[in-house]
Structure 1
């Protein structure tokens, strides 16, 4: 009986930890695609595993030289808070670009990440 009573709290603890681990807005898809090659995009679309708060979520874009590229304010897609849309401020020259994103999900968990894409000539 003692072993059984110890298993219940351990199982509940594990279940709560596992639930919290999945309660973060994880990047599921990006356009331009992670590692992809595209013509100059007019926007960056990030699709997350759950809704994000656009006021606390953002993207920076830098060229291969490290120069900052202007982007517009982030907004969520109408009717889908899990899709973040960030307009690119100007046409991009050929080269490799780095996207750095940070997100706050609707349940206030923070996540961040980085990926690259290439603009073809």
Structure 2
């Protein structure tokens, strides 16, 4: 009896553990790419995540080399993609900071840089 219980419960626990890991919205890739160098300041930054995002609780900010915020404000979110338009910010290192809530209520955040210049 005990052995059959263990045989039945182990796959269930494995399934539950696997679902918890995949429930978080992690950054998959970005445009401009993380750590990349581009010749001119981009018009927008777009982030792609591994899960769909909750619009009301997801945000992104972008600052230029002088530490000035160059994003235009509220991001556009569709499914697992989040974009924000940028004002001209000159050359140097741009810092992107994001915080997202996936549709199943798990939050993640992070940051990365990319360089603008010749």
Say whether the 8 Å CA contact 2:70–2:88 is kept in structure 1: no
Query: Secondary structure of the equivalent of 1:69?
Result: coil
The aligned counterpart of 1:74 is: 75
Distance 2:10 2:64 in 1: 48
Distance 2:96 2:18 in 1: 29
Query: Secondary structure of the equivalent of 2:19?
Result: helix
Question: Normalized against structure 2, the TM-score is what?
Answer: 0.86
Aligned-residue RMSD, C-alpha: 1.7
Question: Normalized against structure 1, the TM-score is what?
Answer: 0.84
Which consecutive residues of structure 1, in runs of 5 or more, have no partner in the other structure? none
Say whether the 8 Å CA contact 1:52–1:103 is kept in structure 2: yes
The aligned counterpart of 2:37 is: 37
Alignment pair present for 1:56 and 2:63? no
